[in-house]
């Protein structure tokens, strides 16, 4: 891997010319708003980014001004926008920063949008920033049932794990549809990106026999966001860590079970204290997995859920198998 640093917009234009001539290879491009990052020197930024670019053939870093850093990387194998977001979020955000990683890095396919990027460059930095805002890759999102945003009323601000009557009705309607879902819906509530990534990878490797579909997995790091997703999607299975960014997983599981005693909740934690176990039992959680876990433990949890669902009529899912 070769990493080259530049410090002006002309260099960025030159590299885009190179992109133009090599259209057979995937190019990615990202903008980092440097003022959201830890106090960091240009060299430290390169050192921090180097591990990420290890598998790329070539990476350019452009320090355009004090606020912006642009990255261009050449990778013949895969788009790496999502891991890049996660990496920057984990490595460079200040601990106090409340802004999500998606707010500090915009990632675009430099090959697909080449002409627009070139045109934007000619108009200057302001237009270039606007271009990123416009064509940034949207994160994938899936919802089977349309959600009325007005249902979010009352959920902003401080942690309020309550539901309005409309939210409750909506949630219970989704629960009735669970058995007809083509894909299992899962929610991972975990505040460390490493642990998020590991568990999500396990869950997404599972196939359901009947339709060979992978589960849909949502992931979040905090109680409040988890509560919103819970109300919006009524996940089939919820995996909850106990130490979360904005409080204890016990608080979340208690609220979830109060709204729906049938919610299937698995605690995943490094805690092994009897006290924690007894709290989890009092909250009627459906499973308790200690770290380190193995694939079979996760698999068994899903199978138990499917067995319970199978006992209800009009059963829609099959049994899972590992891919």
Partner 1 sequence: MVMDSPINLDNLDAIIGYNPELRTELFQLFISATHDSLSALKKSWQDHDDVLWAKETHALKGLCLNLGAETLAALCAHAQNQTRAPRDTKEQILISLEQQVANVQEALALIMQQP
- List the x/- string, 181-210, binding to partner 1 by CB under 8 A: ----------xxxxx-xx--xx--x-----
With binding defined as CB under 8 A, does residue 220 bind partner 1? no
Choose between 52 and 128: whose C-beta lies nearer to partner 1.
52
- Alpha-carbon dihedral sign for residues 198, 201, 205, 211: positive
> Interface with partner 1 includes 269 (CB under 8 A)?
yes
The answer to whether the CB of 223 falls within 8 A of the CB of 252 is: yes
Contact call for residue 243 and partner 1 (CB under 8 A) = yes
Residue among 211, 212, 294, 307 that touches partner 1 (CB under 8 A): 294
Candidates 142, 292, 311, 314: give the one binding partner 1 (CB under 8 A).
Answer: 292
187, 87, 83: which is closest to 142 by C-alpha?
187
Smallest distance from the beta carbon of 51 to partner 1, in angstroms? 5
Does position 86 interact with partner 1 (CB under 8 A)? The reply is yes
Report cis status (omega within 30 of 0) of the bond before 292.
yes
- Which of positions 23-62 make contact with partner 1 (CB under 8 A)? 51-52, 54-55
Count of alpha carbons within 13 angstroms of residue 253, beta-carbon side: 30
**What residues between 91 and 130 interact with partner 1 by CB under 8 A?**
91, 95
d(CA 25, CA 82): 19
Measured CA to CA, the distance from residue 302 to residue 308 in angstroms comes to: 10
Name the residue nearer to partner 1 (CB basis): 96 or 141: 96
73 contact partners, CB below 8 Å, separation of at least 6: 27, 28, 53, 56, 58, 59, 60, 80
Question: What residues line the site for partner 1 (CB under 8 A)?
Answer: 51-52, 54-55, 78, 83, 86-87, 90-91, 95, 191-195, 197-198, 201-202, 205, 241, 243, 269-271, 291-295
């Amino acid at each position: 891997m070769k990493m080259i640093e530049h410090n002006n917009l002309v260099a960025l234009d030159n590299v885009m010319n190179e992109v133009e001539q090599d259209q057979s290879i995937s190019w990615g491009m990202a903008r980092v708003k440097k003022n959201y990052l830890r106090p960091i020197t240009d060299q430290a930024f390169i050192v921090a980014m180097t591990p990420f670019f290890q598998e790329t053939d070539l990476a350019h870093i452009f320090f355009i001004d004090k606020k912006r850093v642009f990255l261009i990387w050449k990778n013949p194998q895969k788009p790496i926008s999502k891991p890049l977001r996660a990496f920057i979020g984990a490595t460079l955000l200040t601990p106090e920063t409340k802004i999500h990683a998606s707010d500090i890095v915009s990632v675009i396919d430099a090959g697909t949008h080449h002409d627009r990027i070139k045109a934007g460059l000619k108009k200057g930095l302001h237009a270039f920033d606007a271009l990123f805002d416009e064509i940034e890759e949207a994160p994938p999102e899936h919802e089977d049932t349309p959600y009325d945003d007005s249902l979010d009323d009352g959920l902003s601000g401080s942690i309020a794990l309550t539901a309005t009557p409309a939210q409750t009705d909506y949630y219970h309607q989704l629960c009735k549809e669970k058995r007809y879902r083509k894909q299992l819906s899962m929610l991972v509530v975990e505040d460390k990106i490493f642990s998020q990534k590991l568990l999500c990878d396990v869950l997404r490797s599972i196939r359901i026999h009947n339709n060979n579909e992978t589960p849909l997995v949502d992931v979040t790091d905090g109680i409040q966001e988890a509560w919103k997703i819970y109300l919006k999607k009524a996940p089939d299975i919820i995996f909850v860590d106990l130490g979360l960014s904005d409080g204890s997983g016990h608080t979340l599981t208690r609220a979830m079970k109060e709204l729906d005693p049938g919610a299937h909740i698995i605690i995943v934690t490094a805690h092994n204290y009897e006290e924690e176990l007894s709290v989890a039992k009092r909250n009627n959680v459906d499973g308790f997995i200690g770290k380190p876990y193995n694939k079979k433990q996760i698999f068994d949890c899903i199978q138990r859920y499917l067995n319970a669902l199978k006992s209800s009529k009009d059963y829609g899912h099959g049994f899972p198998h590992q891919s």
